[in-house]
């Protein structure tokens, strides 16, 4: 399990949500409260949009809580859309290449959850990645494979369909391989304009996911950044939240059909 947050709206300094809140993501890296492992110390990552078309990326394998660079970057950078993620590894190595968010072109993706028994079907899952994207696979996680597979299925054009189709196919592979562990998926994806947040699990035990509207911004988080849950809305299981222009524009069903 991991913890993450995504922001879209009025440009703000990253520290506003990443490091300053009392239960900020950096605080959650050592003391998360809504997941099985309270420690998310297996690396971290930032992805943010600035003046360039491609997002900036800062990832490292150290724990987020002790990284001065991370604090400094969050203190300096102001952005209208950014992702931040702290990792608790589930079987793959602690390495920079396995840290979220993942990026390709203008897109960013991050994930909390896992493909149960991934080791057994890894090659099949990777086979879903088109050749021209496969050379961009630099790590070994299930998350990066899902991202690249969905990119190959038009995630930029229709994120819900692309991820739904990828997840459905993986669930079928898991079933065929007699894997009893679940597939769980809380994730954020953006093409640089529209932000999609997903919450789904094949066993209805999806990782927590919340969103909070601001004046002209939306935050999506694994767990609230303060002790009160008052302003935070749970994303229902089996849903996809769509944010554009700093507003939630849609909360719709996220359908994963397992053939």
In the three-class reduction of DSSP (H, G, I as helix; E, B as strand; rest coil), residue 196 is classed as strand
Which one of the spans 48-56, 161-169, 187-195, 238-246 is the region binding a second copy (CB under 8 A)?
Answer: 48-56
Check residue 95 for interaction with a second copy (CB under 8 A).
yes
CB nearer to a second copy: pick between 75 and 194: 75
Backbone torsion region of residue 211, taken as left when φ is above 0, otherwise alpha when ψ lies between -120 and 50, otherwise beta: beta
Q: Are 35 and 221 spatial neighbours (Cβ–Cβ below 8 Å)?
A: no
Phi, psi for 256 (deg, rounded to 5): -120, 110
Check binding of 57 to a second copy (CB under 8 A).
Answer: yes
Q: Contacting a second copy (CB under 8 A), which of 138, 176, 234, 249?
A: 138
Question: Could you tell me the smallest distance in angstroms from the CB atom of residue 210 to a second copy?
Answer: 24
Phi, psi of 204 (to 5 degrees): 65, 10
Give the contacts of 212 (CB within 8 A, at least 6 positions apart). 218, 219, 221, 224, 231, 232, 233
Distance CA 203, CA 181 (A): 9
**Does position 50 bind a second copy by CB under 8 A?**
yes
Instruction: Note whether 33 binds a second copy by CB under 8 A.
Output: no
Q: Is 12 in the site for a second copy (CB under 8 A)?
A: no
Residue 90's nearest CA partner among 116, 126, 56, 60 is 116
CB contact at 8 A, 156 and 104: no
**Dihedral over Cα of 107, 110, 113, 114: its sign:** positive
In the complex with a second copy, which residue's Cβ is closer, 98 or 239? 98
Any contact of residue 123 with a second copy (CB under 8 A)?
A: yes
* 104-112, 129-137, 149-157, 191-199 -> range binding a second copy (CB under 8 A): 129-137
Q: Which is nearer to a second copy, 136 or 231 (CB)?
A: 136
Distance CA 208, CA 230 (A): 15
Which listed residue (12, 16, 80, 97) binds a second copy by CB under 8 A?
97
**Contact positions toward a second copy, by CB under 8 A?**
13, 30, 38-39, 41-42, 48, 50-52, 54, 56-63, 65-66, 68-69, 72-73, 75-78, 89, 92-97, 119-120, 122-123, 126, 131, 134-135, 137-140
């Amino acid at each position: 399990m991991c913890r993450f947050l995504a922001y879209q709206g009025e440009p703000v300094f990253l520290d506003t949500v990443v490091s300053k809140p009392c239960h900020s993501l950096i605080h959650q890296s050592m003391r998360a409260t809504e997941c099985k492992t309270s420690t998310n110390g297996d690396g971290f990552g930032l992805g943010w949009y600035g003046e360039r078309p491609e997002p900036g990326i800062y990832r490292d394998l150290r724990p987020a809580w002790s990284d001065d660079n991370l604090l400094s970057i969050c203190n300096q950078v102001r952005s209208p859309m950014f992702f931040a993620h702290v990792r608790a590894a589930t079987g793959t190595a602690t390495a920079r290449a396995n840290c979220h968010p993942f990026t390709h072109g203008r897109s960013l993706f991050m994930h909390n959850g896992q493909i149960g028994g991934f080791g057994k079907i890894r090659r099949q899952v990777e086979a879903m990645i088109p050749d021209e994207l496969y050379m961009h696979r630099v790590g070994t996680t299930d998350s990066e494979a899902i991202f690249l597979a969905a990119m190959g299925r038009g995630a930029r054009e229709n994120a819900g369909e692309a991820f739904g189709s990828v997840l459905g196919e993986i669930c079928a592979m898991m079933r065929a391989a007699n894997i009893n562990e679940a597939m769980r998926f809380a994730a954020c994806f953006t093409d640089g304009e529209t932000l999609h947040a997903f919450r789904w699990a094949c066993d209805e035990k999806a990782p927590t996911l919340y969103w909070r509207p601001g004046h002209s911004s939306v935050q999506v988080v694994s767990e609230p950044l303060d002790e009160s849950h008052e302003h935070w809305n749970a994303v229902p299981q089996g849903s996809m939240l769509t944010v554009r222009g700093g507003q939630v524009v849609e909360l719709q069903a996220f359908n994963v059909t397992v053939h």
